[in-house]
Amino acid sequence: MASLHTSFLNFSLSSFVLLLLSCSWYKVSWAHDGETVEIAVHSLLPETNCIPSSKGFDNHPSGKLQLVDVNGPCSPLETTPSLEEILHQDQLRVRSIHSMINKHVRDSKAKIPTRFGLPFKTKNYVVNIGVGTPNQNLWVTMDTGSSLSWILCKTCPNCRGLPFSPSQSSSYSNIACGSADCSQAYSATHHSPACRDACIYQTQYADSDYSVGFFARETLRLTPSDVFPGFKLGCGHDVKLRDSTSGILGLGSHPASLVYQTATKFGKVFSYCLPSSTNSNGFLAFGNQTGSTSPAVRYIRLILNPQNPDLYYVPLNGISLNGRRLAIPASTFSAHGTVIDSGTIVSYLPPSAYIILRNAFRAAMSGYPSATPPRGGVYDTCYDLSRNRTVTIPSIKLNFGGGIDLLLDQYSGVITNVGSYKFCLAFSANDDEEETTIIGSIQQKTYEVIYDVPRGRLGFRSVGATCN
Ligand SMILES: *[C@@H]1O[C@H](CO)[C@@H](O)[C@H](O)[C@H]1NC(C)=O
Ligand SMILES: *[C@@H]1O[C@H](CO)[C@@H](O)[C@H](O)[C@H]1NC(C)=O
């Protein structure tokens, strides 16, 4: 099936990178920076068949793992969440991110002990890893919003994923109670110490899923050439996990994170490309993969907050629509910060900023029939494009400091398909003006997003819909 994907990367008015991956008979007109582009409505419809392109993953490139959308047709796992359920999960994740942040704010202001916000769980992108000796292969969720990695170690009534069997592995060992390694598990999961012959970790999620088990050392194999003996991870014996994965790979910036545990080899640099066409796969890469021939990477500041090592912050200060900066004061974003997250789907803005963006978007889309938004309240600006052959979607840019802008992909960064020919603006409003802005996964598509932790910068490289 021919499809058309467009991707833009633009960091200044003078630079303009355009990647047109495949083009069928559709007539397409391109315009200059900030102007709009007419695209065939048909090309916006999601693919329903998996046409996997292995992109050299069979050769197991060093430091590079195939990343698969767990809800897409290429998913290796049995998953049938409805759109409503996916959006509900997204809201739970956003609420738990906010409660985690606000917990620290409240603590530092009032010094009143408050309950920790529950960690948040992503359910969107999975990678296949090898654990143990001999190697057992497991599908786990990649999560930039948590640090402790854990795997399912037992079949359980409340989970469906394939478990790892520690008894079949010669390299498995539990971590002792009271050790420095053990306290790392407590601080990574914000949990009080627990011990049952060996160190116990516990992690609980906002959607009432949880994982409890031994904190252990085991050999982790990311690729055949990237093997890490003695990797510290949770071995879950009492787990409630709604999806069919076997656990979580934590990429936060706490010392327990994979990013820190593999620092000697990969220098705390990792990147991902989220698959934006459902018939293609993305990647999760470790270390500096930037060859001399690859297109330019543009960097913005990556801000780590020691109080919240599970969150990566960026300096968003404005939004432009069709090349015009919207009248949102930079302080709207800077007052409570902006988190970039791979596990939240939609971007969530302070309500005052969202309304300005939404109104400008609606004005630009006034020529199209509106549609009833899906239930759940995530979206409120939707269109029925079933009777339009082409559509001109307004261009949206996220403005960061220093004149750096990120032009969102018009195919997958601005609107999202919510069933048949219905599309919604892929942004939402936070419940409260005081809550942190979140840049979700939709807006990161068609880019390789590079987390360079030691240099405190986040890179964007335009890679198009197929993550090449
Ligand atoms: C990777 O290496 C290239 C070439 O040496 C360098 O220009 C670039 O800054 C490095 N990127 C990271 C994220 O370290
Ligand atoms: C889209 O289709 C609707 C229904 O046929 C029509 O009223 C509207 O004018 C079309 N919009 C554009 C911009 O062509």
Tens digit of each residue's pLDDT (9 = 90 or more) over 43-95: 777 777 776 655 556 667 789 999 988 877 778 877 667 788 888 878 887 88
Annotation marks residue 310 as catalytic: no
Q: What is the pLDDT of residue 7?
A: 32
Longest dimension (CA), the chain: 68
CA 422 to CA 379: how far, in whole Å?
12
Q: At the topology level of CATH, where does 295-462 sit? A: Cathepsin D, subunit A; domain 1 (2.40.70)
- Mean per-residue pLDDT, 10-28: 30
CA 445 to CA 411: how far, in whole Å?
9
Ligand 2: centre distance to CA 393 (Å): 13
Task: Determine whether the shortest distance from the Cβ of 341 to ligand 1 is under 6 A.
Answer: no
Going from N- to C-terminal start, the domains of the chain cover 57-285, 295-462
Q: Which atom of ligand 1 is nearest to the CA of 292?
A: 4
Task: Determine whether the shortest distance from the Cβ of 448 to ligand 1 is under 6 A.
Answer: no
Q: Which of 418, 451, 438 is nearest to 297 (CA)?
A: 451
Which residue has its alpha carbon closest to ligand 2 atom 9? 367
- Ligand number, closest to the Cα atom of 288: 1
Q: What is the pLDDT of residue 86?
A: 80
How far is C-alpha 74 from the geometric centre of its chain's CA atoms?
18
Q: What is the pLDDT of residue 83?
A: 81
Range with lowest mean pLDDT among 33-42, 182-191, 327-336, 424-433: 33-42
Burial degree of 237 (CB within 10 A; 0-12, 13-18, 19+): middle
Residue holding tokens 């010392």? Answer: 255
CA 67 to CA 433: how far, in whole Å?
34
In the chain, the amino acid numbered 390 is T
In the chain, the amino acid numbered 149 is S
- Mean per-residue pLDDT, 4-27: 31
pLDDT band per the 50, 70, 90 thresholds, residue 434: very high
Task: Examine the pLDDT at 297 and tell me if it is beyond 70.
Answer: yes
Q: What is the pLDDT of residue 85?
A: 80
Ligand 2: centre distance to CA 396 (Å): 22
How far is C-alpha 404 from the geometric centre of its chain's CA atoms?
21
Annotation marks residue 143 as catalytic: yes
Q: What is the pLDDT of residue 9?
A: 32
**Structure tokens given for 327:** 């009248």
Task: Examine the pLDDT at 468 and tell me if it is beyond 80.
Answer: no
In the chain, the amino acid numbered 280 is S
Establish whether domains 57-285 and 295-462 are of one fold.
Answer: yes
Ligand 1: centre distance to CA 291 (Å): 8
Q: What is the pLDDT of residue 116?
A: 35
Task: Examine the pLDDT at 303 and tell me if it is beyond 70.
Answer: yes
**Cβ(142)–Cβ(166) under 8 Å?**
no
Q: What is the pLDDT of residue 252?
A: 92
pLDDT band per the 50, 70, 90 thresholds, residue 36: low
Ligand 1: centre distance to CA 315 (Å): 22
- Ligand number, closest to the Cα atom of 266: 1
Phi, psi (rounded to 5 degrees) for 465: -70, -20
Q: Superfamily for 57-285? A: Acid Proteases (2.40.70.10)
pLDDT band per the 50, 70, 90 thresholds, residue 109: very low
Strand locations in 134-225, DSSP E?
Answer: 136-143, 150-152, 173-174, 195-196, 198-204, 210-223
- Mean per-residue pLDDT, 3-19: 31
Q: Which of 209, 226, 243, 341 is catalytic?
A: 341
Task: Examine the pLDDT at 21 and tell me if it is beyond 50.
Answer: no
Q: What is the pLDDT of residue 80?
A: 66
Residue 72 has what DSSP assignment? Answer: S
Task: Examine the pLDDT at 13 and tell me if it is beyond 50.
Answer: no
Range with lowest mean pLDDT among 109-123, 171-185, 394-408, 436-450: 109-123
Phi, psi (rounded to 5 degrees) for 103: -60, -45
Average pLDDT in the chain:
82
pLDDT band per the 50, 70, 90 thresholds, residue 19: very low
Q: What is the pLDDT of residue 29?
A: 33
CA 244 to CA 166: how far, in whole Å?
19
Q: Which atom of ligand 2 is nearest to the CA of 390?
A: 14
| Percentage of the chain modeled with pLDDT above 90 | 52
- Mean per-residue pLDDT, 278-300: 78
Range with lowest mean pLDDT among 112-116, 179-183, 410-414: 112-116
Task: Examine the pLDDT at 117 and tell me if it is beyond 50.
Answer: no
Q: How far is CA 340 from CA 20, 177, 399, in A?
A: 26, 35, 14
Strand locations in 338-445, DSSP E?
Answer: 338-340, 347-349, 370-371, 382-384, 390-393, 396-400, 404-407, 415-417, 422-425, 427-429, 437-439
Q: What is the pLDDT of residue 114?
A: 29
Q: Select the more confidently predicted residue: 85 or 26.
A: 85
pLDDT band per the 50, 70, 90 thresholds, residue 123: low
Q: What is the pLDDT of residue 35?
A: 54
For 392, half-sphere exposure in the C-beta direction (CA atoms, 13 angstrom radius) is 15
**Structure tokens given for 73:** 């047709």
In the chain, the amino acid numbered 410 is Q
Q: Which of 100, 90, 164 is nearest to 342 (CA)?
A: 90
Which pLDDT tens digit goes with each residue over 83-96? 888 888 788 878 87
Q: Which of 154, 132, 89, 126 is nearest to 344 (CA)?
A: 89
Q: Which atom of ligand 1 is nearest to the CA of 267?
A: 14
Which pLDDT tens digit goes with each residue over 187-234? 888 777 788 889 999 987 766 788 999 999 999 999 999 999 999 999
The β-bridge partners of 227 are 221
Task: Examine the pLDDT at 290 and tell me if it is beyond 80.
Answer: no
Task: Examine the pLDDT at 103 and tell me if it is beyond 80.
Answer: no
Which pLDDT tens digit goes with each residue over 348-372? 999 999 999 999 999 999 999 999 9
- Mean per-residue pLDDT, 369-387: 93
Based on its alpha-carbon atoms, the radius of gyration of the chain, rounded to whole angstroms, reads 22
Phi, psi (rounded to 5 degrees) for 457: -140, 155
pTM: predicted TM-score of the whole model, two decimal places = 0.87
For 292, half-sphere exposure in the C-beta direction (CA atoms, 13 angstrom radius) is 0
